[in-house]
Structure 1
Amino acid sequence: MTRLLLFMALFVVVLYGSWPYYTIYRLDGALGAEDAQAIAPFVDLPAIRAGYKEQAGAALKGMMPDSSRGGESEPFVEWLAAGLRPLGEAALERTVTLDWVRYALRDAAQRATEQRPAYFMAGIDYAFFQSWNRFGIRLGSTEVVMQFQGLNWRVTALKDRAQDE
């Protein structure tokens, strides 16, 4: 009986460990489709938008004068930043779409491999677990993060590492 339980536990671990790789395989096929809706089951668009919103907010905050560091914060500049924030959020909603995500993933694969047509899987330099529910993929200078949501692995973040350097 213990051998059966050990075998079942090992089977579950292997199945769970291979699941994100199978998702990458399916995502690769969906990226080849003409319709951007094909990648919808593999992408968490609100999470990707939230990540870019956070990055934009941090960049905007870095450009603002900080009164805590001895600088004076001008009320006009604060008012202007508060007025631009909703415009930026609306632009982000219109810009970061399934078509944009599909283009970004295809472009990352194309820059990461010499193979033509540039398949997503061919451009992968690294793909492994970052934690039990987070999986990182590196395609050249682009980092793709998938998270386990419900019963699926979904892309939740895209980041160009070249911008950080």
Structure 2
Amino acid sequence: MNSSLPSPPTGTDAGLAATLRMAVGRLARRLRAQRPDSSLSLGQGGVLFTLARHGKMTPGALADHEKVQPPSMTRIIAALEARGLVRRMRHPNDGRQQLVEITEEGARLVDSDHQRREAWLTRRLAELDREDKEVLRRAAEIMDRLSQS
């Protein structure tokens, strides 16, 4: 990235959007670097986290949730299944469908991932003063609202 580019003015909504996008992107990259198993693609990791949070889902529901096309989800599920991180089973109410669930090994990987990322972020937050932490608490609430709108 060219560091000689001027920073966008944050006094406008467009400038704030640009600054926020860049800061969130950098933080996301730093958090991704803390992953215990970097051999998983972002899509595979997303599916594991979704299954850990929401439980069993059909491949179609997973594709909708992760905003990918069904053929892509089929490949993601196959790769995760080959590694023993998810398993497929028959749908109890519809024999034409399958459900995908996370395995114990997959759940351990998700837990390890959460622990590493939160430990890294906790260490970074410990470097801040109380006032900055309060600003971040409020910003986190606002960002969560933005993400759901």
TM-score where L is the length of structure 1: 0.25
Larger radius of gyration between Structure 1 and Structure 2: 1
What TM-score do the two structures reach when normalised by structure 2? 0.27
